[in-house]
Structure 1
Amino acid sequence: MNPTVILAKEVVNPYMFAQHDVLQDSRLRADRKSQIQKATALGNIYQHKVKIICQMADGQVGQLLTTIWQSDDNHVSLKGGRTIPVNAILRIEY
């Protein structure tokens, strides 16, 4: 397995990430949605950072330590207007 790439939130752009949904199982997708909602609440209430584990466009796994400020069904928004597509997120660690 390839090592995880550490990403700086300042260089994140949506084109860096996988365009397909990286989770095939509907239960895993539901868990991801719940994780994103919890991380968004933690970011807005406590400014708590989380680790986002995601798949990059080249197939590598990346991780990013950041605060999620806003989320919808398609994207999570980070400080500075940066976004990550939800379908590229493997999981979120608190």
Structure 2
Amino acid sequence: MMIGQLIEKEQIPQFKFIAAPEDKSATFKEKLEGALRLGNEFKAKTEISFQTDSGPKRIETTVWSLTDKYLQIKSGVLIPLKSILEIEY
């Protein structure tokens, strides 16, 4: 079960990202690459939980791109990897 309040991806700009209690970006690297492949090749959605100043939030979205510090979703929205709590697909 994913943690965080489910929000629409369009609501993300209303929140300020903060670092998760534990930076798991290195641990999530393989899972993030899988989410990227699913999004680009199959248009499949990934559920992502992340930390904000208003508490944990989660979205269901397609991952468009991935860098060392961010993942990008639709409309150029960037989510810092250090804020990610969980990833499921």
Pairwise TM-score range, normalised by the shorter structure: 0.7 to 0.9
**Could you say which residue in structure 1 is the equivalent of 2:21?**
22
**Could you say which residue in structure 1 is the equivalent of 2:75?**
80
Is the deviation greater in 38-47 or in 3-12?
A: 3-12
In structure 1, the gaps of 5 or more residues are: none
Is contact 2:48–2:88 with CA below 8 Å preserved after alignment?
yes
Is contact 1:69–1:77 with CA below 8 Å preserved after alignment?
yes
Is contact 2:20–2:85 with CA below 8 Å preserved after alignment?
no
Is contact 2:46–2:60 with CA below 8 Å preserved after alignment?
yes
Q: Secondary structure at the match of 1:61?
A: strand
- TM-align CA RMSD: 2.0
**Could you say which residue in structure 2 is the equivalent of 1:31?**
27
Question: CA deviation digits over 1:61-94, x for unaligned, max 9?
Answer: 1111000000111111001111111100012100
Q: In structure 1, which of residues 28, 45, 48 is the aligned counterpart of residue 44 of structure 2?
A: 48
Whole-Å separation in 2 of the counterparts to 1:36 and 1:88 = 13
**Could you say which residue in structure 2 is the equivalent of 1:13?**
13
Whole-Å separation in 1 of the counterparts to 2:69 and 2:26 = 13
TM-score by length of 1: 0.79
In structure 2, the gaps of 5 or more residues are: none
Number of aligned residue pairs: give it.
Answer: 87
1:14 to partner: Cα distance: 8.9
Identity of aligned residues (%): 29
1:48-67 matched pairs, under 5 angstroms: 48-58=44-54, 60-67=55-62
Q: Secondary structure at the match of 1:12?
A: helix
